[in-house]
Amino acid sequence: MTEVKYINSEGKTFMLSNTDSVVRLKKGNFHKYSWTPETVEYKYGDQVQDFTKSAISYELTFAVKGNPIERKQRIQDLHNAAEHDIMVNKRGKLMFGEYAIECFLISSDTQPDDEKDTETVNTVTAYCPYPFWMRETMYSFQSHGMAGLIDAYDYPFDYGSVDYGIAGYRANTGMDATVPLEFRLVIYGPIKDPCIRINGHKYEVLVDVAENCILTISSLEKSDQEKSCILTYPSGKSMSVLHARNRDSYIFQPITSGDVVVYSEQEVSFDLIIIERRSEPLWI
């Protein structure tokens, strides 16, 4: 059974379906989606200009087992965490296996099970403003300078034989994506004017990333303004350095699925988080 859980904006986790059968998901159709065509009407038919996707909602029904006090507490804790997200207007996450979709739990209906007096049935509605399921895979790298030698470590995937100390690092994402993949590139200081090539494309920002500072380039676009290039200081203060990007090479260029070649001539540590985005989670 695929594990289903809700994680609120504070990181509190609530299982909605687990192997010990304390919580059992009875209903939750996650494999549905729709696109809306934007068209111009002609005499015969339409001309499609673009496609848009609206927010989506999922209704989940799950049964909670245990004595009455335990059941009430488990459900109440979930509702408190969900209402916190609504009050502070911060999205939680609905998880289906490795895939996550941001959401708010906007309604709830709790009833005793008509057939089992040891269970309580709760139905919630997950409202998802950004209607995509996402799976993140992180690659951590250490480049060794002008020779272009680069190591990969702590990678959560299996690429078979891997040669360390080669001029660049080649791997396969293992993702059969229908569209180019979004990413976050997290670069750790100290490094001046960091420049990293991915599949031959240059991602360069002309800024001094000092010791213990972090530069994050994020290509994920949930709104027209959300793509970002942020420098974060040890104090936690951050500022946009988008103006310092190399304008001759687009720093938000998506990454294709399949083979990925990473290369840098600088001594630099960085993480590459590749984000797979789907209308529905992959069938498991």
pLDDT confidence bin for 159, thresholds 50/70/90: very low
Q: Which of these ranges, 109-118, 132-141, 214-223, has the smallest mean pLDDT?
A: 109-118
Q: Does pLDDT of 227 surpass 90?
A: no
As a whole-number percent, the residues of the chain with pLDDT over 70 amount to: 82
What global pTM score does this model have?
Answer: 0.79
pLDDT confidence bin for 166, thresholds 50/70/90: very low
Write down the pLDDT at residue 41: 93
Q: Does pLDDT of 155 surpass 50?
A: no
Arithmetic mean of pLDDT, 215-221: 90
Arithmetic mean of pLDDT, 152-169: 42
As a whole-number percent, the residues of the chain with pLDDT over 90 amount to: 54
Q: Of 136-140, 155-159, 171-175, 266-270, which has the strongest mean pLDDT?
A: 266-270
- The H or E element spanning position 109 is strand 99-112
Write down the pLDDT at residue 172: 55
Tell me the average pLDDT of the chain. Answer: 84
Would strands 36-41 and 46-52 be described as parallel, antiparallel, or unpaired? antiparallel
Q: When comparing pLDDT for 150 and 160, which is higher?
A: 150
Arithmetic mean of pLDDT, 157-176: 46
Arithmetic mean of pLDDT, 164-168: 42
Q: Does pLDDT of 148 surpass 70?
A: no
Contacts of 52 (CB under 8 A, 6+ apart): 35, 36, 38
CA dist 58 and 77 (Å) reads 20
Arithmetic mean of pLDDT, 141-161: 56
Write down the pLDDT at residue 20: 65
Write down the pLDDT at residue 163: 35
Q: Report the SS3 class of residue 18.
A: coil
Q: Of 62-71, 165-174, 212-221, which has the strongest mean pLDDT?
A: 212-221
Would strands 201-204 and 208-209 be described as parallel, antiparallel, or unpaired? unpaired
Q: Does pLDDT of 116 surpass 90?
A: no
The answer to whether residues 280 and 128 touch, using CB atoms and an 8 Å cutoff, is no
Say which residue the tokens 């938000």 belong to: 252
User: Could you give the C-alpha distances from 162 to 159, 182, 195, 268, in angstroms and in order?
Assistant: 7, 24, 24, 20
The token duo for 109 is 């209906």
